[in-house]
Amino acid sequence: MPWQELSRPSLSIGVLRGVCADEDLPVPRTYHGGLRFAEFLLERSDGALTPYEYTAVAESGFMHVLGDWVFAGALYGTDFGYEEMRRYAARKRLHFRTVMVMREHANEFVDLVVDELVAHDPELVGFTTTFMQNVPSLAVAKRLKERRPDITMLFGGGNCDGPMGVALHREFGFVDLVLRGEADETFPLLLRSYGAETALAEIPGLCWRADGEQRVNPLPRLVPPAKLTRPDFDDWFEAFEASRIGRYLEPELAVESARGCWWGEHHHCTFCGLNGSAMAFRAKPPEAFVAELDHLVRRHRVLDVTVVDNILEPTYLRTALPEMAGRDWDLRLHYEVKANLSTAQVGTLAAAGVYSVQPGIESLVDDVLDRMDKGVRAVHNVRTMRDCESAGLTVSWNWLYGFPGEQEKDYATVLAELSRLVHLQPPDGVSRIGMNRFSPHFEDPSLGFPSRSPAEPYRYVYDLTAEQLDDLVYLFDTPSAGLSDEEVEPLRAAVDVWRRAYPESSLRRLDADEAVVLRDRRAGWPRADYVLETALERHAWKLLEYGGTMTGMLRKLDDAGMAWDADALSRWLGELHERGLVFTANGRWVALATTTVLLDAPGREDAPGREGAFVRPDTRTLRIRPAHRGRSVRDGVPASQATPSGPG
């Protein structure tokens, strides 16, 4: 259901199709409600509500549950939550007009979905729900149940993890079954035993009813790595290619190489609630993942791949990724990584086609990184940013603040450093942390958030009390901690300057004969070439590229037979710092010049943001391949129509 991303299939549905095939069960018929809603909006709005508008809500509406609100009227009645959310949106200065218009279409859409589902005469309809898919799914399930009480309504997915699934089953009587936890093993079990009440008691993670009473089975085991199944996306690609939406978007693949978080198993980042009840890290055998990717790329002729893992399995840097690099395909993959990668490892990512990463940088303040139990220091983050810039990797990151106990003075020290970083990719924004279910901040009030309540906008999408919402929802309101809104203004201003300066800034290292040249072309700094001519300077610069303390540098220089007087090294570092060539925090230093030259895309300051992923709706798709008896086959349009039409 909405708000699944339009350009890629639901991995959950793909995996469930895959496990059914593996278990010799009939592969369930699927319904891609997100694609269908985007089509419906396009049609009903005469082209005004395009996939761009849909995507804007899908990507940015979650913190205010706007996508759920679009369907709240369809679930509870036209006026439910309408005025309240309108006032809330005005107070929060949200772009609200689009979702208001979408809401006008939601009721009719739900009827359409129910009609289309009933036409298949199903016995059981399963909804996989994550983030803002709850209310649209509930609206359809409720109306479907009213129309056909004999159809069993099953819910599963991230929104059903832990107590949320129990609450959803408890509060919505038309939901017959909720399957909590990873369903790779339990979904086939449910299908096999469907209808037999005694068997339902044996299905781990299932919420069901007997004699009108809710029964909650214990959570299932986490699926072991060797049992993580290859998804089957055939149905989605068929639907996408047949859809008008396919004309707006380039299709992508969504795959997983691992579940859980190896860092979070031991040091759970205090604000992160992403892994729910499944933190244990499990990676597919590398050869299995590469084979899966190979299969999906060949089958669907798609080279853009989002790997949904919460963190890259480190051994893949020695196994799967070099294997992929060796194939010389022009892949573009997205991965989430930890910001402790070496320069060589970043190079491995790029060689394998990983051109988009989310390294979880979060902050450049050591004290704050400690408070979030991030396991990296600011110099590590800066080194990762530098190396990603060198390798041409797009880095997604947000600067998070609002951690209990953080101090303005610690930010002030780092703010003074930020002008040195303008050639590296700036944060997408500066955001106060939210409280998410499953995070340490949620689980342990002693970490600084002693009180909480379900996030305000949930009141405008669910007709439930705060007590009922408490177990159902994912986002919570808390009194603010850490920096005040006023105290964070200097950071916002510095980030604004950074974002403006980045497109026109570079600081590059080039190796000339007997010298290292640091070519500085950053905004706000003198245009200059700095020349490191002595072997001692060059070696010290090499050490700075890795990063470390002055004491460590002195020791390593000494080990290399290049002893340097501490005062002289200090003066040299001071000069580098004065010229903005190094970043320092808490006695650690790191060099800032990018090492592999990445020449910027012309006009990158004008580069589109997410809308860049959209193509014109009149885009034509051709498939050219040799045909039998000497004639070519061109699926799509005749050659005459595909010919460019005159001068540009």
Partner 1 sequence: MRVAEPGQRAAGEAWPETLTLGPDELASRHGHVGLAIARSQRLKVSVPLRLGTDPSRDLAALRFLTEVAVQMADLTWTLSGAPPWPVRTLVHLPPPGDGADPIAQRYAAQWRREHRYGLCTYRVGPGFVRIRDVRPGGPHLRVVVDGPWADVFGFLVTEDAEVIDGPGRQLQDELVAAGLAVAVGTVTHVLPCRLRRWPIPYTAAV
Site for partner 1 in 514-573 (CB under 8 A): 515, 517, 519, 526-533, 537, 572
Residues 324-383 that bind partner 1 (CB under 8 A): 327-332, 355-356
Instruction: Please answer whether residues 360 and 338 qualify as being in contact, where contact means their C-beta atoms are separated by less than 8 angstroms.
Output: yes
CA angle 478, 484, 485 (to 5 degrees): 100
CB of 594 to partner 1, least distance (A): 9
Closer residue to partner 1 in complex, CB, 115/533: 533
CB of 344 to partner 1, least distance (A): 18
Closer residue to partner 1 in complex, CB, 466/637: 637
Residues 412-441 that bind partner 1 (CB under 8 A): 425
Instruction: Please answer whether residues 418 and 430 qualify as being in contact, where contact means their C-beta atoms are separated by less than 8 angstroms.
Output: no
Q: For residue 570, how far is the Cα from the chain centroid?
A: 42
Amino acid in the structure at residue 605: E
Closest C-alpha to 474, from 141, 157, 42:
157
Residue 208 interacting with partner 1 (CB under 8 A): no
- Its sign, for the CA torsion 304, 310, 315, 317, is positive
Of the candidate spans 75-83, 336-344, 440-448, 510-518, the one that interacts with partner 1 by CB under 8 A turns out to be 510-518
Closer residue to partner 1 in complex, CB, 157/246: 246
Q: What tokens were used for 506?
A: 């570079």
The dihedrals phi and psi of 239, each to the nearest 5 degrees, come to: -65, -40
**What is the per-residue binding string for partner 1 in 244-273, x denoting contact by CB under 8 A?**
------x-----------------------
CB of 250 to partner 1, least distance (A): 6
Closer residue to partner 1 in complex, CB, 174/329: 329
Closer residue to partner 1 in complex, CB, 452/634: 634
CB of 545 to partner 1, least distance (A): 15
Residue 510 interacting with partner 1 (CB under 8 A): yes
Closer residue to partner 1 in complex, CB, 30/425: 425
Of the candidate spans 306-314, 321-329, 400-408, 411-419, the one that interacts with partner 1 by CB under 8 A turns out to be 321-329
Q: What tokens were used for 524?
A: 């706000």
CB of 365 to partner 1, least distance (A): 25
Closest C-alpha to 234, from 399, 3, 27:
27
Of the candidate spans 62-70, 81-89, 211-219, 626-634, the one that interacts with partner 1 by CB under 8 A turns out to be 626-634
User: 333: alpha, beta or left, given left = phi > 0 and alpha = psi -120 to 50?
Assistant: beta
Of the candidate spans 106-114, 174-182, 186-194, 638-646, the one that interacts with partner 1 by CB under 8 A turns out to be 638-646
CB of 566 to partner 1, least distance (A): 18
Q: Compute the distance between CA of residue 41 and CA of residue 102 in angstroms, rounded to an integer.
A: 7
Within 10 Å of residue 220's Cβ, how many Cβ atoms? 20
Hunting for tokens 């020290």 — which residue is that? 413
Q: What tokens were used for 86?
A: 């309108």
Of the candidate spans 141-149, 226-234, 277-285, 298-306, the one that interacts with partner 1 by CB under 8 A turns out to be 298-306
Closer residue to partner 1 in complex, CB, 149/646: 646
Closer residue to partner 1 in complex, CB, 115/241: 241
CB of 624 to partner 1, least distance (A): 5
Closest C-alpha to 69, from 83, 48, 56:
83
Q: Compute the distance between CA of residue 596 and CA of residue 62 in angstroms, rounded to an integer.
A: 38
List strands edge to edge, sheet with 213-216. 124-128, 152-156, 177-179, 206-210, 213-216
Residue 48 interacting with partner 1 (CB under 8 A): no
**What is the per-residue binding string for partner 1 in 586-625, x denoting contact by CB under 8 A?**
-----------xxxxxxxx-xxxxx-xx-xx-xxxxxxxx
Within 10 Å of residue 147's Cβ, how many Cβ atoms? 13
CA separation, residue 448 to residues 268, 372, 452, 571 (Å): 16, 12, 11, 42
Instruction: Please answer whether residues 548 and 588 qualify as being in contact, where contact means their C-beta atoms are separated by less than 8 angstroms.
Output: yes
Closer residue to partner 1 in complex, CB, 82/530: 530
Residue 301 interacting with partner 1 (CB under 8 A): yes
Of the candidate spans 369-377, 390-398, 450-458, 562-570, the one that interacts with partner 1 by CB under 8 A turns out to be 390-398
Of the candidate spans 52-60, 86-94, 290-298, 465-473, the one that interacts with partner 1 by CB under 8 A turns out to be 290-298
Q: What tokens were used for 562?
A: 């290049």
Among 554, 576, 591, 592, binds partner 1 (CB under 8 A): 576
- In the chain, the N- to C-terminal Cα span, in Å, equals 41
Extract the runs of DSSP E, i.e. beta strands, from 144-196.
152-156, 177-179
Closer residue to partner 1 in complex, CB, 91/527: 527
Run of H or E including 506: none
Closer residue to partner 1 in complex, CB, 196/566: 566
Instruction: Please answer whether residues 455 and 88 qualify as being in contact, where contact means their C-beta atoms are separated by less than 8 angstroms.
Output: no
Closest C-alpha to 137, from 115, 162, 156:
156
Closer residue to partner 1 in complex, CB, 27/598: 598
Determine how β-strand 253-255 pairs with β-strand 258-259.
unpaired
Q: Compute the distance between CA of residue 153 and CA of residue 218 in angstroms, rounded to an integer.
A: 20
Among 392, 404, 524, 552, binds partner 1 (CB under 8 A): 392
Among 27, 56, 303, 550, binds partner 1 (CB under 8 A): 303
Hunting for tokens 């050219």 — which residue is that? 624
Closer residue to partner 1 in complex, CB, 371/509: 509
Among 68, 182, 292, 304, binds partner 1 (CB under 8 A): 304
CB of 530 to partner 1, least distance (A): 6
Helix 566-578 with 535-546: angle, nearest 10 deg: 70
Residue 479 interacting with partner 1 (CB under 8 A): no
Of the candidate spans 19-27, 341-349, 369-377, 389-397, the one that interacts with partner 1 by CB under 8 A turns out to be 389-397
